[in-house]
Homo-oligomer: A and B are copies of this chain.
Amino acid sequence: MLRKADTVNKALDAAIAMKEPEKIYEAMRYSLLAGGKRVRPLLCIAACELVGGDEETALAAACAVEMIHTMSLIHDDLPCMDNDDLRRGKPTNHKAFGEDVAVLAGDALLAFAFEHIAVSTKGVSPTRVVRAIAELAKSVGSEGLVAGQIVDTHSEGLSNVGLERLEYIHLHKTAALLEAAVVLGGIMGGGNDDEVENLRLFARSIGLLFQVVDDILDVTKSSEQLGKTAGKDLVADKVTYPKLLGIEKSKEFARKLNQDALQYLAGFDEDKAAPLVALANFIANRQS
């Protein structure tokens, strides 16, 4: 898995090489190559390999998903949004480059993600590439990241935010892109409709799992341990699982989501499914 993360890092580095205008490339690379865990690209590649594709087949899509993830972090950190100063242990993009550059770097990463899939995907039929692009775009827009962020931002300080609304936020803000990562892997790897559907359901569970764990870490870890501002959700008066359920019940819910996720992999070859199982367990047990 470490070797694969290294492959992803090299591919991202090569995909957005320095060019003119330097300022925008610097800003894009600053956030893209800041050393995230690359969970989404690894999920994409693992899903591709599970249905019979190889790493190379999914690599462009895997990088595209990480570009979009990075874009969403840059824009969510902006002063007009979550107003965060620290991300992955470094100043956020707008702190380092200014707000105007941060907005534009996000826009460029978003557009480049689609260019990269369209231009750099190898050995996949154009029909599948078009399908993958539609899936990925859907995970960003008003049915994905953006919808989650807007409902999240406009829920801060509200007293009547229940579990249903919280789940809506997380399913859109976090799970949609994780789902796209896994589904894109399945599509690029040549998976049939049943396989892609099971991967989608697996991804939805771990998407929610990912956010529940994030909520728990925000209240149980320090900023130093997380590489981003801890306790942020409390300060912003954001609704979270620990706030609604308490820490222990939240942990229990996380364990249940992890089990649910693994059920959807039951129909696949056990050995081939091992990397996705490992990633699900990694998400459940991560400490930052």
Q: Which A residues contact B (CB, under 8 angstroms)?
A: 19-21, 23-25, 28, 71, 75, 78, 80-81, 98-101, 103-108, 110-112, 114-115, 118-119, 125-127, 129-131, 133-134, 136-138, 140-142, 144-147, 149-151, 153-154
Which residues of the partner chain B approach A23 to less than 8 Å between Cβ atoms?
A: 150, 154
A149 proximity list for chain B (CB < 8 A): 104
Q: Binding site of A, secondary structure by majority: helix, strand, loop or mixed? A: helix
Residues of B within 8 A of A147 (CB): 20-21, 24
Residues in B with CB closer than 8 Å to A71 are: 107
Q: In chain B, what residue has the closest Cβ to A103?
A: B75
Could you tell me if B141 and A115 are in contact, using CB atoms closer than 8 angstroms?
A: yes
* A147 and chain B: residue at smallest CB distance: B21
User: Across chains A and B, which 8 residue pairs bring their CB atoms closest together, nearest first?
Assistant: A115-B137, A80-B99, A111-B140, A126-B126, A118-B134, A111-B141, A108-B146, A108-B141
Chain B min CB distance to A171 (Å): 13
Evaluate contact between B127 and A141: CB separation under 8 angstroms: no
Task: Known A-B contacts: A80-B99, A115-B137, A126-B130. Give 10 more (CB < 8 A).
Answer: A71-B107, A104-B149, A111-B141, A114-B133, A114-B137, A115-B133, A115-B141, A118-B137, A119-B134, A130-B130
Closest to A172 in B: B21
Chain B residues positioned under 8 Å from A100 (CB to CB): 78, 80-81, 150, 153
Q: What would be 23 A-B contacts, judged by CB atoms less than 8 Å apart?
A: A19-B142, A21-B151, A23-B150, A23-B154, A24-B146, A25-B142, A71-B107, A75-B104, A81-B100, A100-B153, A106-B107, A107-B145, A108-B140, A112-B141, A114-B136, A115-B133, A115-B137, A115-B138, A118-B134, A118-B137, A125-B126, A126-B127, A126-B129
Q: Which of B103, B110, B119, B142 contacts A80 (CB 8 A)?
A: B103
A21 touches B142 (CB 8 A): yes
- How many copies of this kind of chain does the complex include? 2
A24 CA to B145 CA, complexed, in Å: 12
| Chain B proximity of A152: nearest CB distance (Å) | 10
Taking the closest CB of chain B, its distance from the CB of A2, in whole angstroms, is: 30
| Contact partners of A25 in chain B: CB under 8 A | 142
Q: How far is the CA of A151 from the CA of B23 in the complex (A)?
A: 9
CA distance A133 to B137 in the complex (A): 12
Given contacts A126-B127, A130-B129, A137-B118, contact A78 B107 (CB under 8 A): no
CA A146 to CA B16, docked complex, whole Å: 15
Q: Complex formed: what's the CA distance from A28 to B147 in Å? A: 12
Asked if A21 meets B106 with Cβ closer than 8 Å, knowing A111-B140, A114-B137, A118-B133, the reply is no
Contacting pair B101 A130 (CB below 8 A): no
Q: How long is the Cα–Cα vector from A205 to B16 in the complex, in angstroms? A: 29
Contact B142 A130 (CB under 8 A): no
